[in-house]
Structure 1
């Protein structure tokens, strides 16, 4: 009986180890409370922007408030505030004084302390790149940065990490040779200065349609085409390119806690979830799951969109994904049911073995 018990314990340990392998144990399931019961807030649904001509290009999620923020240029300039559980509109951010740029606002993200940042789209070296900051949803925006980004085009992609004086912002756009991304740093969490790190060896435009921090001192960039995903130290240095599943994957998000990478395919709205702990395996064994909650497709000729991971106070991990002109999909990232079933059977067997001893 002792041998049987030892065998069961070893078997359970092996199952636990196997279940911990994220590439086999995490999947995307619809957040069914979002978007009228199917996890998809379609264009025009519940008063949401009908999204013609890519007038929504930036979204993000604030886990502090359980809100989704949407930069909305349909008929004016708005930052819509949506309930993170349902997708229903609950208000909007103050946009007083926001001006300048090809688009006065384009991208948006949230710092670790809940401060909200949104940037314009600058398409000229003579047009300042501008970033605005909201301390909270009730605040009037302040100017965090207003100056040259030393790039021809900036603001198609943007990401924020850290909080207070440790906040960093990266942004990119366009594919001019020698222009990788602009890095904004701060000494007080309120005003920022710009630098232009060099990603040596990176393809032109490597960060233009998707950008994020990996939480380990690196910036990740993405665009359509064969160049795939690019990684470089935040301050610059040699860049490394990694292949993904599809050339249509451009917008990205990275979760540093569980080391997960998410992409949305601009040609289909298919969302892919990867094990991001080893980027060299993305196109082979790294793909965990893919899902598409949309039932119609509108062409996204601009190739723009946005994704964001977040952990609400209610628990769990969520992923919000937007392919421009095709609404917002909301997922829960959960353990694969098969893995949980195997563990349950293992524990039942172990308990039964204990009773027979």
Structure 2
């Protein structure tokens, strides 16, 4: 019995140490971004980021962060700015020639897997002003009209949010219908195919989802699933095929700080793990969740890089953008996370996730530690 105890001692100690050193998911400020991870409204006199409800769109692509602003600067309100992903410094703007129409000429943004940039206008009624999406093949391109029309429902309001997935001819964009004006089908969302310049209204039978449930926060987990939010402390997780939508679940957001103002959504995978970022349009705090099962989000971490008193985000608008995965070489993978809550600036975080092998080793360590504890009880 003593020999068995000795043989078990070494692996118990080694794997116990591995378990203790297994790293949890962490979320920390990207300290080189702005000041302490926060680019505050108007910092340094920056005209494209203020407190006038003009900045609502944010995306990452081609090694840059893109900011959409309809603030009037140098005679135009069609501003799409390129920001340095490490510092937030303005690197210039995209060409905006030929952009016309809508309540706001530009409002929200998504980037395809091939680097194509898509920017949507905002229209309060597609019956009187077309919903438009412009595309830039490269940052040096002149914008082309990728889509112009009703977005599938005449009279709907569109452009409050935009999300996308895929690349090239397989690119899909989604935009949530607003609850106002009240039109049939506004409890769903539009799916836009830039390659065919067509839009399909995805509808649901019965309620929920309720009118406008996909109008503020919107993200795609794959080419047939959408997560959306509006004015409640939960999100709608839906699947779609053609024009038919199915509400899979409406899980509550388990935010330890309270989810009453949690609206903004951004999905990604880090080291193969499904992660959902959720941003508050109240105090601007941001939380991340494991959504391996999207019907049961599990809280992982939260952060807030803002300081002082914030201007209210009365419209509940903004957007979340994820940077690419970076393998750190220490058993973890990181991705930068960027969030904008209108009137409250842009925050940047570094989210670090243990790689699956590290998680598996930690689990093995826990199992062996349990066995060792059981062995000690037997020896007694």
Alpha carbons of structure 1 residues 130 and 333: separation in structure 2 relative to 1, 3 Å: same
Tell me how far 1:14 sits from its aligned partner.
Answer: 5.8
Deviations 1:90-110 (A, max 9, x none): 110001100101111100011
How far apart, CA to CA, are the structure 2 residues paired with 1:243 and 1:80?
A: 35
- Are 2:300 and 1:288 aligned? yes
Whether 1:195 and 2:200 are equivalent positions in the alignment is: yes
Kindly report which structure 2 residues correspond to 1:1-357, keeping only aligned pairs within 5 A, or say none.
1-8=6-13, 11=16, 19=22, 25-36=24-35, 38-46=36-44, 47-62=46-61, 65-75=62-72, 76-126=77-127, 127-149=129-151, 150-151=153-154, 152-175=156-179, 176=182, 178-179=185-186, 180-186=188-194, 189=195, 191-200=196-205, 201=207, 202-215=209-222, 217-226=224-233, 228-235=234-241, 236-239=244-247, 240-244=249-253, 245=255, 246-256=259-269, 257-282=272-297, 286-295=298-307, 296-311=309-324, 316-335=334-353
Q: Where does the alignment leave 5 or more consecutive residues of structure 1 unmatched?
A: 347-357
> How many Å separate the matches in 2 of 1:218 and 1:49?
33
Size of the aligned set, in residue pairs, is 326
Following superposition, the deviation at residue 247 of structure 1 comes to: 2.0
Residues in 1 aligned to 2:222 and 2:327: alpha-carbon distance in whole angstroms: 24
**Deviations 1:144-198 (CA, angstroms, capped at 9, x unpaired):** 0011111510010100100001100000141145221100125xx4x42110111
Structure 2: which 5+ runs fail to align?
Answer: 1-5, 329-333, 366-380
Report the Cα offset of residue 60 of structure 1: 0.8
Calculate the TM-score normalised by the size of structure 2: 0.80
Rounded Cα–Cα distance in structure 2 between residues aligned with 1:262 and 1:112: 19
What is the Cα deviation at residue 231 of structure 1? Answer: 1.0
Deviation track 1:56-106 (CA, whole Å, cap 9, x = no partner) reads 0101111xx321111111113211111011100111000110010111110
Q: CA RMSD in A?
A: 2.5
Does the CA contact (< 8 Å) of 2:165 and 2:223 recur in 1? no
Alignment TM-score, normalising by the size of structure 1: 0.84
CA drift of 1:115 comes to 0.8
Q: What residue is the counterpart of 2:3 in the other structure?
A: none
Residues 313/290 of structure 1: CA separation in 2 closer, same or farther (3 Å cut)? closer
Give the conservation status (yes or no) of the 8 Å contact 1:66–1:85.
Answer: no
SS in 1 for 2:284: coil
Contact 1:173 1:209 survives alignment (8 Å): no
Residues of 2 paired with 1:162 and 1:96: CA distance?
26
| C-alpha displacement of 1:11 | 3.8
Mapped contact 1:66–1:312 kept (Cα < 8 A): no
Q: Secondary structure at the match of 1:2?
A: helix
Structure-2 change in CA distance of 1:97 and 1:134 (3 Å): same
